Amino acid sequence: MSRILFRWNLLPLDEAAGEILPCCGSHAWARKMASGRPFEDVAVLLETSDRIFRGLTDTDWSEAFQSHPRIGSTVSAGKSSVRSLEWSVQEQRFATEAVDSRRQALAEGNLEYELKFQRIFIICATGKSVDEILENLRRRLTNDEMTELHEAAEQQRQITQIRLRKWLIE
């Protein structure tokens, strides 16, 4: 068992929920994760995270989405912790370092997405080039509302898995 997981298993419920919140951004997810302790190992933690995330409401998913900055930005749409923002900068490094024309294309795509879906565009950007992100954004703009909500939730689930692994080694 990791040292961080061992320590986290022993924290009071509210403190444990607060510590893990930056991994997802949904308070309901964080509370349910903290309530499910103790976790015997990382595999069980990750599996439980997926199960809990998939069982969240649309409102809970929306809260998680709002904890992220727009792709290409370093400011979140809603409340976000310093740790979450630091992770976002790492995850979308290629987007924030893009040349001006690509950053402009991302900004325009973000705006079009937000007008259509009334939320920010969420993508698991880790390891993706700006062109891959733009291609995903353009494709997802053709989705209907329910299809896109579930695709955004899947992207958030992937981000959560990556962040849990980062959290466990910090």
Instruction: Tell me what pLDDT residue 74 has.
Output: 56
Provide the residue type at 79 as one letter. Answer: K
DSSP-derived secondary structure for 144-170: -HHHHHHHHHHHHHHHHHHHHHHHHH-
Check 20, 30, 33, 68 and give the catalytic one.
68
Domains of the chain in sequence order:
3-169 (1.10.3330.10)
% pLDDT > 70, the chain:
84
Is 27 annotated in the active site?
no
**pLDDT tens-place values along the chain, 170 residues long:** 789 999 999 999 999 999 999 999 999 999 999 999 999 999 999 999 999 999 999 999 999 999 888 886 655 555 656 665 566 656 665 555 656 788 889 889 999 999 999 999 999 988 888 899 999 999 999 999 999 999 999 999 999 999 999 999 87
pTM: 0.86
Tell me the pLDDT of the chain averaged across its residues.
89
Question: What pLDDT digit, counting tens, does each position of 20-68 carry?
Answer: 999 999 999 999 999 999 999 999 999 999 999 999 999 999 999 998 8
CB 123 within 8 Å of CB 155 = yes
Nearest to 76 by CA among 62, 63, 66: 66
